[in-house]
Amino acid sequence: MTDELSGNSFGGDVVVNTKRWGLKAIRNPFVLAVSLIQPLVFLVLFLTVFGNVAGTAVNDTIPGISYESFLLPAIIMQVALASAVSSGVGLVNDIETGMFEKILASPMRPSAMLLGKIIADFARIVVQIAIVVVIGLLLGTQIKTGTLGILGVVGVGVVFSGWYLAFSNALAVLTEDQESTTLVANLLQLPLLFLSSSFLPVNALPEWIRPVALVNPVTYGVDVARSIILGRNVVSDLPLANSPLEALLILFVFDFLFAVAGIFFLLTRTRSDVQ
Amino acid sequence: MMCDIERRKQVEGESTDSAIDVRGLRVTYADGTTAVDGIDMTVRKGEFFGYLGPNGAGKTTTIKVLATLLTPSDGEVRVNGFNVRTDSRNVRKSIGYMAQETVVDPELTVEENVRFACETYGVPRDERGRRISTLLSLVDLADVADKPADKLSGGMQKRLDAATALVHEPPVVFLDEPTTGLDPEGRDRLWDYFQRINDQGTTIVLTTQYLEEADKLCDRLVLVQDGSVIVKGSPNDLKGRGGDEILDVELTGDQSARRRAAEIARDLGPFNSNAIEETDNGISVTGNSVREHGTMLLVTLDEAGISVVGFDIRKPTLDDVFLAVTGEGLA
């Protein structure tokens, strides 16, 4: 009986949850496909509609870069954002179906439950970004740093997604409502992308947008990925970072801050609402 | 070998007879609503314990405190000897919890749901296969083990939910209105299942609005209303407190016929001190002589031109007892 009452170690709890969410992602490939559709539509439309015009502005700032190569990092960040939204929706589903409470009534640690889910979400995001990178390569993107560069770009996408994963899960816990979570998280996606260096270099953006772009995590993610693709430092004139490595560190800081906030909200939710 | 729980209880100097001890439990929500107001109760090991009450009585709130999903505002609560406030993880290790709503992961198969529960509770790897197959057989889901949970009927999902609450063979199980919404056959199967695990020594705390369910399954029960315990005892004790037999007379005609029939009953010598009530389709007479003098009433009603279409003499049910205590039924 002692063994039967032992529960799992923290690591064991994490593995159990990673497995569950991984299995759910495999069972429901629709979620994986849906968060790819909009970014891929953007990729094709932007290349077709703005490719020639924007290519000039881009080349003025970053000489020698094709618009395909310039755009791919933005699409990767867009995939990361869209995929992170579905992470929060998954948690809301668990809250709505009662699975969340059922797990809370078990010996599983809430923080391990969240961590296991996030790891499974990261795995899903890796697959989605890899698909986008392959499509980008087929459409003419050149990754000058080769295979390592491809891995690096995928890695940056995953690091970038961390803060939005935490944000969408915190939204899920706060709203406990699928529509509200989807609405808010989706609503923020496009402003985040357009108020950043995603589609045009920061210098080519309207003046009022520039200060926003310089503190926008999307700019940090896009600039690091772009630097990896080109094999040289093309990080915008950011107040907090001058190199890809510094920009990457800032992304980790964003992840950390949002993760702390997410865990805070989760733990608040798991405590009672009694006096 | 002495298990963790028994060792802990001995260290703490508690009786090992009780599975649950609740003293002065009070729960007031942040909006100021007091859902539970000073409940005391003890559930003995191996007992099938009913926790009954109308909607809003505080049943689910109490179960959530016992399952550590809510922290009490006041009072001391121990489950399997562990304090729900200070030792909540040990409480959770030693309980099974089945919520009011059916909770299964719709995207996983039946077997994957039970396996996930095994992994959640840390059931040893080499035990899992046996545990899963035993439980699926017990709840009659072995044939659909590979089916996604969302393809099951409501009753099957409920049985799957029950199986996942029991994978770790907990000494105490909380069932919060487990048969609500089930058809009679589904309800019977779950009753049988709960009875079997109770026979194997598992303590069960059941909340329900179905008094028939409580009567059939529970060794002891309490009735709560407005957050307080108002009656406690075994079903037979409580029915005994209902006292006399009841004569139900079914009549044709409208309310005036029922009123006239009640007046006639009150004017009859043997019944004039009895409780006489108009019911939906006739009258009901409760007293110690209804069996002896019931025929007299039926004949008198017939002579008065009131048409009697049926009658029944029965012992009080829990419904009658609770109706008398609370002034209203549970459902």
The pLDDT score that the predictor gives to residue B10 is 42
Q: Which of A1, A101, A106 sits opposite B120 (nearest CB)?
A: A106
Instruction: Kindly report the number of other CB atoms within 10 A of residue B206's CB atom.
Output: 27
Residue partners of A269: CB distance under 8 A and separation at least 6: A173
Phi, psi of B69 (to 5 degrees): -85, -15
From CA A170, how far away is CA B273, in angstroms rounded?
66
C-alpha pair distances (Å), A87 with each of A25, A119, B250: 10, 11, 61
Asked whether the beta carbons of residue A16 and residue B120 sit closer than 8 angstroms, the reply is yes
Nearest residue of B to residue A8, measured between CA atoms: B122
Complex-level ipTM: 0.81
| pLDDT above 80: residue A184 | yes
Length of chain B: 331
- Tell me the mean pLDDT in the region B22-37: 91
| pLDDT above 90: residue B288 | no
CB A195 within 8 A of CB A166: no
Asked whether the beta carbons of residue B122 and residue A103 sit closer than 8 angstroms, the reply is no
CB A167 within 8 A of CB A185: yes
| pLDDT above 50: residue B8 | no
Give which of A99, A77, A52 is closest to A217, Cα–Cα.
Answer: A77
CB B249 within 8 A of CB B261: yes
- Tell me the mean pLDDT in the region A65-79: 89
The pLDDT score that the predictor gives to residue B273 is 59
The pLDDT score that the predictor gives to residue B19 is 95
Q: How far is A23 from chain B (nearest CA, A)?
A: 8
Confidence of residue A267 (pLDDT cuts 50, 70, 90): confident
CB B283 within 8 A of CB B265: yes
Give which of A209, A109, A224, A122 is closest to A165, Cα–Cα.
Answer: A122
Least confident of B127-131, B199-203, B327-331: B327-331
Give which of B247, B264, B245 is closest to B302, Cα–Cα.
Answer: B264
Q: How far is A32 from chain B (nearest CA, A)?
A: 15
Which helix (H) or strand (E) segment holds residue B211: the answer is helix B211-217
Helix (H, G, I), strand (E, B) or coil at A265: helix
| A chain contacts of residue B73, beta-carbon cutoff 8 Å | 274-275
From CA B68, how far away is CA B64, in angstroms rounded?
6
The pLDDT score that the predictor gives to residue A6 is 58
Q: Which of A6, A24, A102 sits opposite B122 (nearest CB)?
A: A6
| pLDDT above 80: residue A169 | yes
Confidence of residue B270 (pLDDT cuts 50, 70, 90): low
From CA B50, how far away is CA B58, in angstroms rounded?
14
Nearest residue of A to residue B88, measured between CA atoms: A107
* Cβ-based burial of B160 (10 A; exposed 0-12, middle 13-18, buried ≥19): buried
Confidence of residue B11 (pLDDT cuts 50, 70, 90): very low
Q: How far is A90 from chain B (nearest CA, A)?
A: 11
The pLDDT score that the predictor gives to residue B88 is 92
Give which of B156, B147, B176, B141 is closest to B57, Cα–Cα.
Answer: B176
Helix (H, G, I), strand (E, B) or coil at A30: helix
Residue position matching structure tokens 């899960």: A169
The pLDDT score that the predictor gives to residue A2 is 40
| pLDDT above 50: residue A1 | no
Q: How far is A247 from chain B (nearest CA, A)?
A: 39
| pLDDT above 70: residue A181 | yes
| pLDDT above 50: residue A214 | yes
The pLDDT score that the predictor gives to residue B4 is 47
How does pLDDT run across B86-116, given as a tens digit for each residue?
A: 999 999 999 999 998 899 999 999 999 999 9
Q: How far is B268 from chain A (nearest CA, A)?
A: 56
| pLDDT above 90: residue B186 | no
The pLDDT score that the predictor gives to residue B12 is 42
Q: How far is A119 from chain B (nearest CA, A)?
A: 17
The pLDDT score that the predictor gives to residue A39 is 84
Least confident of A32-36, B21-25, B41-45: A32-36
* Cβ-based burial of A29 (10 A; exposed 0-12, middle 13-18, buried ≥19): exposed
The pLDDT score that the predictor gives to residue B1 is 36
From CA B216, how far away is CA A56, in angstroms rounded?
82
From CA B158, how far away is CA B173, in angstroms rounded?
15
Asked whether the beta carbons of residue B3 and residue A2 sit closer than 8 angstroms, the reply is yes
Asked whether the beta carbons of residue B121 and residue A7 sit closer than 8 angstroms, the reply is yes
Chain B CB within 8 Å of residue A64 CB? no
Percent pLDDT > 70 in chain B is 91
Asked whether the beta carbons of residue A99 and residue B68 sit closer than 8 angstroms, the reply is no
Asked whether the beta carbons of residue B97 and residue A102 sit closer than 8 angstroms, the reply is yes
CB B79 within 8 A of CB B19: yes
The mean pLDDT of chain A is 87
Helix (H, G, I), strand (E, B) or coil at B45: coil
Chain B CB within 8 Å of residue A16 CB? yes
A:B CB pairs within 8 Å: 106
C-alpha pair distances (Å), A100 with each of A92, A122, A249, A269, B264: 9, 20, 33, 11, 60
From CA A72, how far away is CA A154, in angstroms rounded?
11
Asked whether the beta carbons of residue B89 and residue A102 sit closer than 8 angstroms, the reply is no
| pLDDT above 60: residue B23 | yes
CB A216 within 8 A of CB A109: no
Give which of B219, B90, B121 is closest to B79, Cα–Cα.
Answer: B90
Nearest residue of A to residue B66, measured between CA atoms: A105
Q: Which of B99, B120, B123 sits opposite A98 (nearest CB)?
A: B99
The mean pLDDT of chain B is 85
Give me A48's structure tokens.
């077709």
CB B115 within 8 A of CB B124: no
Chain B CB within 8 Å of residue A4 CB? yes
Least confident of A197-201, A208-212, B143-147, B311-315: B311-315
Percent pLDDT > 90 in chain A is 45
| pLDDT above 90: residue B193 | no
From CA B108, how far away is CA A24, in angstroms rounded?
7
Asked whether the beta carbons of residue A6 and residue B93 sit closer than 8 angstroms, the reply is yes
A272 versus B146: which is more confidently predicted? B146
Confidence of residue B74 (pLDDT cuts 50, 70, 90): very high
Asked whether the beta carbons of residue A24 and residue B68 sit closer than 8 angstroms, the reply is no
The pLDDT score that the predictor gives to residue B2 is 41
| pLDDT above 80: residue A273 | no
- Tell me the mean pLDDT in the region A74-98: 91
At B117, which amino acid appears? A
From CA A229, how far away is CA A150, in angstroms rounded?
8
CB B278 within 8 A of CB B254: no
The pLDDT score that the predictor gives to residue B3 is 45
What sign results for the dihedral spanned by CA atoms B51, B53, B56, B57? negative
| A chain contacts of residue B1, beta-carbon cutoff 8 Å | 1-2
Which helix (H) or strand (E) segment holds residue B176: the answer is strand B172-176
Which residue, among B16, B34, B105, would best test binding to A if mutated, counting the most A CBs under 10 Å from its CB? B105
From CA B144, how far away is CA B110, in angstroms rounded?
7
- Tell me the mean pLDDT in the region B185-212: 88
The pLDDT score that the predictor gives to residue A270 is 62
DSSP string, A166-191: HHHHHHHHHH--HHHHHHHHHHHHHH
- Tell me the mean pLDDT in the region A228-234: 89
Domain residue spans of chain A: 10-273
Asked whether the beta carbons of residue B28 and residue A6 sit closer than 8 angstroms, the reply is no
CB B96 within 8 A of CB B133: no
Asked whether the beta carbons of residue A99 and residue B72 sit closer than 8 angstroms, the reply is no
The pLDDT score that the predictor gives to residue A154 is 95
CB B304 within 8 A of CB B30: no
| pLDDT above 60: residue B7 | no
Q: Which of B70, B104, B169 sits opposite A272 (nearest CB)?
A: B70
The pLDDT score that the predictor gives to residue A203 is 81
| pLDDT above 70: residue A84 | yes
